[in-house]
Structure 1
Amino acid sequence: MDSKPARLETVSRLTRLDGLRGLAACGVAFLYHPQALFAPATLDGEPRLLGWFQTWGWTLVDLFFLISGYIFAHVYLQGDGKRRGLTREGLGAFAAARVARLYPLHLLTLLFCAAFFFADPANTGLAFVAHLLMLQAFVQPVAHTFNGPSWSISVEVVCYVLFALGATGGRRTLRWVTMIAIGGALLHFVVQGRPGGPWVGDGLPRALLGFFLGQTLWCLRERLAQAPTAVLACILAFGLALDMGRMSPLLPLCLYAWPALLLLALRAPWMGSAPMRWLGDRSYAIYLVHYPMLLLVENWWSPFEGAAGTLWSVTVLFALAVLIVSDLCYRIVEVPARRVIRASWERHEQVARARKVHPA
């Protein structure tokens, strides 16, 4: 879900992918999870497009992984004779940037869920510690403790670690890490993949496949830029329509649909417009904030019954409320915390450099 590194001043921002990430967050937060608010009769006869999101909207998380891998490669793998990509000396700054980006809002939503949903039997002390340590995807029941969607953050952190180790080891090492990650994930889905989903055991393979496939797309960006837009649109449609039968639906989506969508987004100027950048900046907040808000509504007011008007009215009101809270969290929590953590790390590095120059 993360894409804003410490070296923004040296690398151009892929604003069009920010916009795509914002749309993906809205798909999960406003069209997939909120169906839990409605009585089954209210969801009957919904438009086909909405029906797709209610069935497969969870797969947009795999689009997050793909976008993250592409942007990480864009930021940390560029280099020339004067400037290298991610180095061992830069690992500390890399880790500080990841903590600054992910942890403050994760901690805030975790504490909120602990305060308001402490009576949930799934919210155990072990689960709380796992969330604190960013290990929530590895403690049962995954996606059903505290802030459920945060499971994806913990598996993405694993990708960050593997990426950093590979990148600092050199391009050859990173290629091996990439091939093993993608190959291992594909083997998992071929051998153990099941139709439908989401399935708990797919969490880490999903992250590995999406993240390192996104990195591969970046490495092949010049060749892929020559692909006709019509061909990419056909691949997108093919990936969305392909039925894998007894196998996981994530294979056509992750291998065809979402890569094609990412490449198409890079060609769409409107994806980098001011409204889309605004949405992209708040995509992480939307993703983390919507679920606690959903639980509050579900516990206090749902299920909602009625016709299509009820469905859309509740959905729009919920979306507006999430956007408002997400904007506040972005401006009051995310941005200030990010600045404080990065400034603290920079001061730490300055002190360390000074001690090397003038040892005690």
Structure 2
Amino acid sequence: MRFRAVDTFRGMAAIMVILFHLQHLTVLSGIAFIAKSDIFVDFFFVLSGFVITYSNYDKITNLASIKPFAIKRFRRLYPLHLFTLLLVLAFEIFRYAIDHYVVKLANPVFAEDKSFVSFLANLTLTQSLHLFDRVTWNGPSWSISVEFYTYLVWAFCLVLFRKNLLIICGLCFSLVAWFIVRHHGSIIYNYDYGFVRCLYSFLIGMLTYRLGRRLSPSGNYWPASIAEILLLGLTIYTVSVFTHSESWLMPFLFALVILVFSREKGAIAKFLASDRLEFLGRLSYSYYLNHLIVLNVLDLVLFKVMKLPASRLGESLYILTCLGCVHLLSVFTYRHVELILQKPSSNRSVKSVAEATAF
């Protein structure tokens, strides 16, 4: 089984995160949906819980089974993380040259978020375990850090509690509920409490998959199509208006989206499941980790070096160039970096393909 429609959703969510990091531009300012699109990181977490449960729940039976699972997830996440980390390092060296020989830059080179210690933390995927007071180096990688350790905690819980989901979720959700109440309903954290945020959404994704297995696969085309349209409208509206104190509810909305669209019964889901659009989902991990580097490089080159006017036309050109360059770089990294440590794909099973595109 392939979750092609929700794969496309993941690609679209990654594009919205890109636009979120461009919201400071005049042409995008004031659009509430874009201004709050960083919440789609929780969509990634919920979807990871859904897909990883599908791919690995039956495989994790004892402590020995955790090791191959952890190695497989590490091989999937780490190559692109390391590649983008080195790209950021190269860009800082480039900025140093620009700052000293071309034009003085407003932002300091090798600032506090790009220290040697934080570089070492990024190498060990520990940069977002509350070791620093900000995101470091390639900012979006904070979620990769916490997601990897969420995988490990999830796997150990399955073994420790013998897959008793009532105990696992009762314990974890009790701790998370205490955290949410203490932080006034907000789960929007990254470098500090990102692990709690990830674990919370991941478990919701796990329960969503388990619930989906119990539901009847039958469904009629037109009722499903109407439900998909209403759910899309609800998602757009809710993302546009939610507040930090309501952010704990958003993973439940994303879980509903995943549950409905993973069944691929309606017109919109069938459209999203097309090969051309589903490829967006395959590129989503690269979109997510590559985009901030591309945005920063093009901002420096176009606005600082080439003196592109910061008009609406100039900003529009910058946005289109960014999206195009992110896509091109992501096609390259997907084909030549992301899967470099994976086994040859010619005989991959359906489950391994689904898992390979989860992050």
Do the two structures share a fold, i.e. TM-score over 0.5?
Answer: yes
CA shift for structure 1 position 55: 1.5
Contact preservation (8 Å) 1:265, 1:271: no
Q: Which residue of 1 aligns with 2:96?
A: none
CA shift for structure 1 position 325: 0.4
Q: Which residue of 2 aligns with 1:90?
A: 65
* Mapped partners of 2:189, 2:315: distance in 1: 24
Give 2:133's aligned amino acid.
Answer: P
Give 1:142's aligned amino acid.
Answer: R
Q: Show the 5 A alignment for 1:58-207.
A: 58-78=38-58, 85-117=60-92, 119-121=109-111, 122-138=113-129, 139-143=131-135, 145-169=136-160, 171-193=162-184, 200-207=191-198
* Mapped partners of 2:251, 2:187: distance in 1: 15
Residue ranges of structure 2 left out of the alignment (5+ in a row)? 94-108, 345-359
Pair 1:262 & 2:258 matched? yes
* Mapped partners of 1:197, 1:170: distance in 2: 29
TM-aligned CA distance change 1:200 to 1:106, over 3 Å: closer
Q: Report the secondary structure of 2:21's partner residue.
A: helix
Aligned length: 311
Identical positions, percent: 26
Q: Which residue of 2 aligns with 1:271?
A: 272
TM-aligned CA distance change 1:225 to 1:120, over 3 Å: farther
The Cα RMSD (Å) is 2.9
Contact preservation (8 Å) 1:163, 1:174: no
Q: Which residue of 1 aligns with 2:105?
A: none
CA shift for structure 1 position 171: 4.2
TM-aligned CA distance change 1:127 to 1:199, over 3 Å: closer
Give 1:250's aligned amino acid.
Answer: S
TM-aligned CA distance change 1:177 to 1:197, over 3 Å: closer
Q: Which residue of 1 aligns with 2:338?
A: 334
Is the deviation greater in 181-190 or in 235-244? Answer: 235-244
Using structure 1 for the length normalisation, give the TM-score: 0.76
TM-aligned CA distance change 1:244 to 1:112, over 3 Å: closer
TM-aligned CA distance change 1:242 to 1:222, over 3 Å: farther
* Mapped partners of 1:297, 1:224: distance in 2: 48
Contact preservation (8 Å) 1:235, 1:260: no
* Mapped partners of 2:179, 2:215: distance in 1: 27
TM-aligned CA distance change 1:234 to 1:296, over 3 Å: closer
Pair 1:15 & 2:4 matched? yes
Q: Report the secondary structure of 1:18's partner residue.
A: helix
Q: Which residue of 2 aligns with 1:5?
A: none
Deviations 1:159-201 (A, max 9, x none): 1011111223354445423332233223222221367966654
CA shift for structure 1 position 88: 3.2
Q: Which residue of 2 aligns with 1:349?
A: none
Q: Show the 5 A alignment for 1:185-334.
A: 185-193=176-184, 200-223=191-214, 229=224, 233=230, 237=234, 240=238, 248-255=245-252, 257-266=253-262, 267=264, 268-302=269-303, 305-307=310-312, 309-334=313-338
